Structure 1
Amino acid sequence: MMHDNNMKTFVYMGGINLTKKSGVGKAVYHQISMLEKQGISVNKSGLKQSDIVHINTVFPDSVFMAVRAKALGKKVLYYGHSTMEDFKNSFVGSNFLAPVFKQWIVFCYGLGDAVITPTEYSKSLLEGYNIKKPVYALSNGIDTYYWRKEKELNLIQKKEFLKKYNLPDDKKVIMSVGHYMERKGITEFIELARNNPDYSFIWFGYTPSVLVPARVRKEIRQSPENLIFAGFVDSAELKKAYNFCDLFLFMSHEETEGIVVLEAMACEIPVIVRDIPVYNGWLVNGKNVFKFKQNDELPGILKQVLNSTDKSIVKEAGKTALERDFSRTGQRLSAIYDIIKAI
């Protein structure tokens, strides 16, 4: 269903340079694609001509924009990407600041006419904070036309990919993606690599060292030879990684959704995630992903998954990603628009 073409949306892009390399940055571009697929005009007219304003960050300039939009009589949709729970164990000082951060995001989200957050889990957290506005769960979505198993990629390209990252071509490659945060399980990933020298490990993503706690920096410096830190790469390179690596392992302890998990599933690489509440109800162990509770279960699971020829789980993962394709999440977003307009 295309939406009425008179709808105009202003997606506030302030702070995008700070979040561009994170899930929040990706989510902003996802919203724009979703809305355009629904025939809704995005950022074509300025704030004053728009009907609905999207805010995605909790920086002071975003608060100023929300207040300004309200003063102009616009409907404000605040995206709840952050929770106190996923702020903890992230950057230097984050645990100390977490209670203050919680009060701040409650204030920010309260400026919206409604709040959208990616999963039922993050919705339950935000509702527990006593935010007085309606909270809707809506996936960040995924472009399954872009993120997919590429039939065209060949062995020569795979060899080039392995060579680029100094990965031997006789070892299985286990990949992960994320910031250098304890919450993302980076130190445990390093430990796993150290204890499993028969596999190659590669971590995509980067965090400026000033934000990385000293003990994490030390672990990265002392990481084993079979682990490569590839740094931040663009989407085209990441898509190659999902297609050429043998397994995607996401050891994160806390997420509001995990866009990279959706990307990996869409590319039909076997996915292993930690068994945490955010995945309840949509990621099922042995159906579309594999889950682990304790790190010591991993060597057995890695062996099982890497030696398996069964493709049914990755096919099921592809279907789960398809349910969150922009075309579907966009329809749900435009339905939320109808509700907000009536508030």
Structure 2
Amino acid sequence: MTSNKKSKITINMMSSADKIAGQGVGSAYRELIRLLRTYNSETLDLTINKIFAKADITHYHTVDFLFYLQSFLSKKHIGRRIGYVHFLPETLDGSIMLPLPLFWIFKAYVKSFYRRMDQLVVVNPDFKQKLIDIGMEPERVSYIPNFVAKEQFYEIPIDEKPVIRKKYNIPDNRFLVVGTGQIQYRKGIDDFVALAKRNPDITFLWAGGFSFGRITGNYKHYKELVNNHPQNCIFTGIVSRDEIRSLCNIADLFLLPSYDELFPMSILEAASCGAPIMLRDLDLYHNILSEKYIPCQDIEEMDAQLKKVSKDRSLLKHFKEMSKDVAATYSEESLTKIWEDFYKEQAELVKY
């Protein structure tokens, strides 16, 4: 092994997440790089996308084919292979649109990529079993949650909020529901728009777009939905993270009606901005968020809860405090040592 107790652990980060705007994978990747460079620079030495860099650990954030080929290099060269699991093969269903044989090949490739890793990191403990089912031994799967930086996602002063609302022509007293993420079926976009139709006295704003363009599943349908939305529904398209922060700050309620997720960065971003959160009550949220959000089983419950809290906003005070608890739990302070300890442990396992 190239490192010892006195030297830094060398980590080669491999990622193409920044090439596609508006997806959570890129946000999670950038947050981790910033965290390690800010708090762990004395113990960890990072390189980015160096195919032939010698390292104690090579950490794969995306499943690029070039990275797959790199994983076959000598362990003396690339060290311990770590795979960051931001999605599972089944979460691709309905998200991207490829010819069926090509889609099957891609899903098989993702499984093969994960099996190549010496260790996988999942952002939700519930997904350990799914990886075990595709051939990973339990001890080769670690859980480390997502997090967001307080310096980027935080509550802004009250006097700044009217300026942001004015930019989107939203009156100060108008109840605003905000959702963020890619426009695709699994995000529950159809329900988001249907709720807007049912509640014309509430403004619904979705920040996000078609990160994968025309290969987005059912692209024509969602393009039509965006182009012909209800008058009280706003689609911003893909925006910067600074704009996401602004929009989460002016939200009376953050709504993510997704059918399938791992651990959305969007939830942590909204929580860090103090927005009360409403979610489709997926089992995977129970461990990571406890009861710190408004749970809804379907669109009927979402509609009923929206009507209730929009008429009595005091009901949201409790969930605003719960969002602050979520932000504290998944803060950069709480994750700094977890990542450092993980890398130290992995570096000790490198054998030549």
TM normalised by structure 1 equals: 0.89
Note the alpha carbon deviations across 1:289-323, whole angstroms, 9 max, x for none. Answer: 11100111112211333323252322222122222
**Does the alignment pair 1:85 with 2:87?**
no
Out of 112-121 and 59-68, give the one that drifted further: 59-68
Shift in alpha-carbon separation, 1:69–1:33, aligned structure 2, 3 A:
farther
> Match of 1:178?
181
Q: Is the CA contact 1:8–1:45 (under 8 Å) kept in the aligned structure 2?
A: no
**Does the alignment pair 1:299 with 2:303?**
yes
**Distance between the aligned counterparts of 1:316 and 1:67, measured in 2?**
45
Shift in alpha-carbon separation, 1:96–1:291, aligned structure 2, 3 A:
farther
Q: Is the CA contact 1:209–1:217 (under 8 Å) kept in the aligned structure 2?
A: no
**Distance between the aligned counterparts of 2:172 and 2:329, measured in 1?**
34
Q: Is the CA contact 2:57–2:78 (under 8 Å) kept in the aligned structure 1?
A: no
Out of 75-84 and 196-205, give the one that drifted further: 75-84
**Distance between the aligned counterparts of 1:182 and 1:317, measured in 2?**
26
Q: Is the CA contact 1:193–1:227 (under 8 Å) kept in the aligned structure 2?
A: yes
- Residue in structure 1 matching 2:247, options 233, 236, 241: 241
Shift in alpha-carbon separation, 1:149–1:69, aligned structure 2, 3 A:
farther
CA shift at 1:226, angstroms? 0.6
* 1:250 maps to amino acid: L
**Distance between the aligned counterparts of 1:153 and 1:96, measured in 2?**
53
Shift in alpha-carbon separation, 1:113–1:29, aligned structure 2, 3 A:
same
Out of 320-329 and 270-279, give the one that drifted further: 320-329
**Does the alignment pair 1:322 with 2:352?**
no
Note the alpha carbon deviations across 1:50-103, whole angstroms, 9 max, x for none. Answer: 321111111212212323364625111111111023211212248876644432
Q: Write the mapping of 1:55-204 to structure 2, written as runs, cut at 5 A.
A: 55-68=60-73, 70=75, 72-93=77-98, 99-132=104-137, 134-150=140-156, 152-154=157-159, 157-204=160-207
**Distance between the aligned counterparts of 1:94 and 1:265, measured in 2?**
38
**Distance between the aligned counterparts of 2:307 and 2:237, measured in 1?**
27
**Distance between the aligned counterparts of 1:194 and 1:209, measured in 2?**
26
Shift in alpha-carbon separation, 1:5–1:165, aligned structure 2, 3 A:
farther
CA shift at 1:328, angstroms? 1.9
* 1:190 maps to amino acid: V
> Match of 2:31?
30
CA shift at 1:176, angstroms? 0.4
Length, aligned pairs only = 335
SS in 1 for 2:288: coil
**Does the alignment pair 1:43 with 2:64?**
no
CA shift at 1:262, angstroms? 0.8
**Distance between the aligned counterparts of 2:70 and 2:35, measured in 1?**
22
* 2:17 maps to amino acid: I
- What's the RMSD between the two structures over aligned residues? 2.4
Q: Is the CA contact 2:22–2:238 (under 8 Å) kept in the aligned structure 1?
A: yes
Shift in alpha-carbon separation, 1:4–1:269, aligned structure 2, 3 A:
farther
CA shift at 1:161, angstroms? 1.6
SS in 1 for 2:83: strand
> Match of 1:210?
214
**Distance between the aligned counterparts of 1:312 and 1:229, measured in 2?**
28
**Does the alignment pair 1:258 with 2:264?**
yes
CA shift at 1:251, angstroms? 0.6
**Distance between the aligned counterparts of 1:284 and 1:253, measured in 2?**
18
**Does the alignment pair 1:221 with 2:224?**
no
CA shift at 1:124, angstroms? 2.4
Percent identity of paired positions between Structure 1 and Structure 2: 23
Shift in alpha-carbon separation, 1:96–1:319, aligned structure 2, 3 A:
farther
Shift in alpha-carbon separation, 1:80–1:247, aligned structure 2, 3 A:
same
Ranges of 4+ aligned residues in structure 1 off by more than 4 Å: 44-47, 94-99
**Distance between the aligned counterparts of 2:105 and 2:270, measured in 1?**
34
Shift in alpha-carbon separation, 1:199–1:62, aligned structure 2, 3 A:
same
Note the alpha carbon deviations across 1:171-195, whole angstroms, 9 max, x for none. Answer: 2111100111000011111111111
**Distance between the aligned counterparts of 1:45 and 1:223, measured in 2?**
41
SS in 1 for 2:147: coil
Note the alpha carbon deviations across 1:140-195, whole angstroms, 9 max, x for none. Answer: 22213431222x341xx333322222324442111100111000011111111111
CA shift at 1:122, angstroms? 2.2
